[in-house]
Structure 1
Amino acid sequence: MTRVLLVSHYYPPHVGGIENVVRHEALHLTRAGVEVTVLTSGRHTVTEDDAGVRVVRVAAWNGVEERTGVPFPVLAPRVLAAAVRWARWADVVHVHDCLYMTSWAAGLASALTGTPQVLTQHVALVEHPSAVVRGVQRAVYGLAGRLLLRRARRVLVVNGRVADFVTAYGARAVGHLPNGVDTRLFRPPHTAEERRAARGRFGLPRNRVLVLFVGRLVPKKGYDLLLGAADAGYDLVFAGDGAQATADGPGLHHVGALAPDELAELYRAVDLFALPSAAEGFPLTVQEAMASGLPVLTTDDPGYAPYRLAEAGVRLLPRDSGRLRGALRELAQDEDLRAAMGRSSHARAATDFAWEQHTAELVRTYAAATGRRTREALA
């Protein structure tokens, strides 16, 4: 049995895209016969969940996220000892993103123990409004990031722009691997009554077109652009927390951060999904919305080209409130167009974003990194 150490700065119950990806990878790898340990931040514990995933949490200070909205836990020094211990146990160390202290510790532990390293880079440089944050990013990628990317046996990315980014920082073997989505959990409503009932549970109006935003309420995600696109023709629904919290008002509803099953129900309650974010890898929420059969509007990012989103009915727009408002008005007034876009989105998600496909590719990647044949990796 192959042993894998998955490394992530956060892990559920903390809410965020990377931690959701790592959680699903851990679950599906375990089901495929891989023994998984997750190294992350949190209250210092070593536990095993009901799926058989061991979770090693190292104490951390989360003041950076609380004060600025930047998800950067500052870990206790013991993170290095924990990383070395579990890297020695593992056959392969799989690091998620090279910007975080967990990643730096795991990369050093991989070098000290000689354990092969695989790295998934989710995003390129984020154009944060703070010059300080941008400067820190460049410094980290130029030092720790460069070392991690050069040492990785394989670097996995979710879009073309990130592939260019990691190559510029020294990555040698780069592959494209889309994140997966749970198409059983995230699905369209079976009936109109199911949609009405979901609206009732969230206290949402039943006779309005509802546009949903899911993500942290920070500028990178574009929540402020969507607020600027508010219009009498539809209501805006925000799911997420952040440094800037929205308050309920006319045409505006804020439901906070939700657990996955609650979020899946919220997708079934609304009519449209909009995410005018910047510098993403490929947003997991876009995949969830597509699987839920929603028409999707998101940023026209050249890095999304490998996904051929326009062919799947996704509307790609510049990060401009006026353009976003115009597109939302059009869709709010055309139920047939919304339905056609939603059908196309759902069909693409069902065929291209299954977690089983993602997991099979990970197993092949681990086998190549360790020099084992795929059959042995699953034995």
Structure 2
Amino acid sequence: MSTPTARSLRVLLVSHYYPPHVGGIENVVRQEAVHLVRQGASVTVLTSGTPAEVRAQGRGAAGEDGDGVRVVRVAAWNGLEERRGVPFPVLSPRLVPLALRWARWADVVHLHDCLYTTSWAAGAAAALTRTPHVLTQHVALVDHPSPVVRQVQRAVYAVAGRGLLRRARRVIVLNSSVAGFVADHGARTGSVRHVANGIDAVGFRPAGSREERDRARDRFRLPRDRVLVLFVGRLVPKKGSDLLLAAADPAYDLVFVGEGNEAGRAAGRPGVHYLGALPPDAVTDAYRACDVFALPSTTEGFPLTVQEAMASGLPVVTTDDPGYAPYGLDRDHVRLLPRDAGELRAALAALAADTRLRERMGRYSRHYATSCFAWPEHTRTLLGLYRCALSGTPGEQPSRTPVEAA
């Protein structure tokens, strides 16, 4: 059987969440879907949905968004995220027949993270229909504060995760930490590929003038005369929102974008501005409104929000995670710190006091992002990996890595 070209390739992307739900993985899947369609592929996304989203779609039906992506939503209970900050939707039994239906349709199934029931069902469907699957593993084991959550993660990765990783024709990772994790959990030798996420460097860009920055601040009722430190992500301990709140200081204000069980602590405090979850166009304005980006998260490697902040020309203060090592970041221009509130406060205060330092770090951020991250290049790499998965050939590493491009 001949390998389909990009213009005839049918791709099933599988993710536990998808926009309008806010989060890093769903944003990656959305951008992959849109850019695969632009390359000529036919793309269906299998994901969870709220009861209202599923009713609007129609039972078992597939809706199409404005960019030509077919979206199939399965009703899900999302109480674990709402009550405990654990992003794990519990999907209805309709997931199984829908996964089988769309796995039969697809030439290749692309799973995102092996922790979720969407990936388990679609991975099993791919095996039953003999459709090759590719898997992107975004993170390793998350050091969650709950021992129960940590134990559940270990059990899932040891059983369902190991099977999905072992059967995957290609396993995509963002950093060396996750590469080691997937190798320890069953990924076949030679199947692992390092592929950086892309970034929309047109949508995520610095403010073109002081006036544009002030308009963005006015949109969110943020003060014009304060240094603003931005956090974007779920407000949960893994992301470090609690640590950033502990690092609050009179030298700067904190701005939080996102939802989570820490949101109540952020809202209403002096010098803290809680904007809640924002639609994509508003998120880009939030970056342009602020002066510094801070994300003291744990075990995330190179999160998408850090890429967005860099593309937006913001100085970045984040955790010194081993996942950054392959990217060759200049530590004079990106602050990589221990997860300590005192060190975080000192770094942010120093940036708040030094306009020239912020400008220099911001220029580095923008140059690095535009040089190293691009969704069209990411998508072309995906298509190459899909073709290798279909043909059974070993394939090659992407021709340009972030380290080489920097």
TM-score by length of 2: 0.90
C-alpha separation in 2, matches of 1:110 and 1:288: 33
Tell me if structure 2 keeps the 8 A contact 1:199–1:269: yes
Contact 1:26 1:36 in 2 (8 A): yes
The SS at the match of 1:56 is strand
> 1:114 matched to which residue of 2?
130
Deviation at 1:311, TM superposition (A): 5.6
Deviations 1:30-69 (A, max 9, x none): 0000110000011433211121111111111111111111
Match of 1:334 in 2: 354
Aligned counterparts, 1:1-379, within 5 A:
1-42=8-49, 43=51, 44=54, 45=57, 46-172=62-188, 173-245=191-263, 246-310=266-330, 313-371=333-391
Find the residue that maps to 2:358 and give its secondary structure.
Answer: helix
Evaluate the alpha carbon distance shift between residue 312 and residue 184 of structure 1 in structure 2; reply closer, same or farther with a 3 A threshold. Answer: farther
- Shift in Å at residue 244 of structure 1? 1.9
CA distance in 2, matches of 1:6, 1:321: 39
Task: List per-residue Cα deviations over 1:115-163 (Å, max 9, x = no partner).
Answer: 0000000000001000000000000000000000000000000111001
Q: Could you tell me whether the CA contact under 8 Å between 2:301 and 2:321 is conserved in 1?
A: no
Contact 1:124 1:281 in 2 (8 A): no
By how many angstroms is 1:312 displaced? 8.0
Q: Which moved more, 1:155-164 or 1:240-249?
A: 240-249
Name the aligned partner's letter for residue 138 of structure 1: R
Matched residue, 2:404:
none
Give ranges in structure 1 of 5+ residues lacking alignment. Answer: 375-379
Note the C-alpha offset of 1:372: 8.4
Is the Cα contact below 8 Å between 1:247 and 1:253 reproduced in 2?
yes
Q: Number of paired residues? A: 374
Conserved in 2, the CA contact under 8 Å of 1:312 and 1:348? no
CA distance in structure 2 between the partners assigned to 1:239 and 1:2 by the alignment:
37
Report SS of the residue matched to 1:313.
Answer: coil
SS in 2 for 1:255: strand
Identity, % of aligned pairs?
Answer: 68
User: Which runs of at least 4 in structure 1 moved beyond 3 Å after TM superposition?
Assistant: none
Please give the alpha-carbon distance, in whole angstroms, between the structure 2 residues aligned to 1:372 and 1:181: 29
Once the two structures are superposed, residues 254-284 of structure 1 have per-residue CA deviations (whole angstroms, 9 ceiling, x without a partner) of: 0111111101011111100000001114211
Counterpart-to-counterpart distance in 2, 1:211 and 1:219: 18
Q: Kindly provide the amino acid, as one letter, of the partner of residue 27 in structure 1.
A: V
**1:149–1:312 CA distance, 2 compared to 1 (3 A):** farther
3-state DSSP of counterpart to 1:241: coil
Answer yes or no: is the 8 Å Cα contact 2:242–2:262 preserved in 1.
Answer: no
1:90 Cα offset (Å): 0.4
Q: Distance in 2 between matches of 1:372 and 1:329?
A: 53
Contact 1:157 1:281 in 2 (8 A): no
Q: What are the superposed Cα offsets for residues 320-346 of structure 1, whole Å, 9 maximum, x if unpaired?
A: 000001101111111000000000000
Task: Measure the CA separation in 2 of the matches of 1:348 and 1:282.
Answer: 13
Q: Distance in 2 between matches of 1:372 and 1:224?
A: 46
Structure 1 Cα separation of the partners of residues 177 and 90 of structure 2 = 28
Instruction: Work out the CA distance in 2 between the residues paired with 1:248 and 1:20.
Output: 29
Distance in 1 between residues matched to 2:356 and 2:299, nearest whole Å: 32
Q: Secondary structure at the match of 1:59?
A: strand
In 2, Cα distance between equivalents of 1:291 and 1:156: 23
Q: Give the equivalent residue in structure 2 for 1:377.
A: none
Q: In 1, distance between residues paired with 2:104 and 2:320?
A: 43
Corresponding letter in the other structure for 2:166: R
Structure 2 Cα separation of the partners of residues 58 and 202 of structure 1 = 34
Contact kept? 1:211, 1:237, Cα under 8 Å:
yes
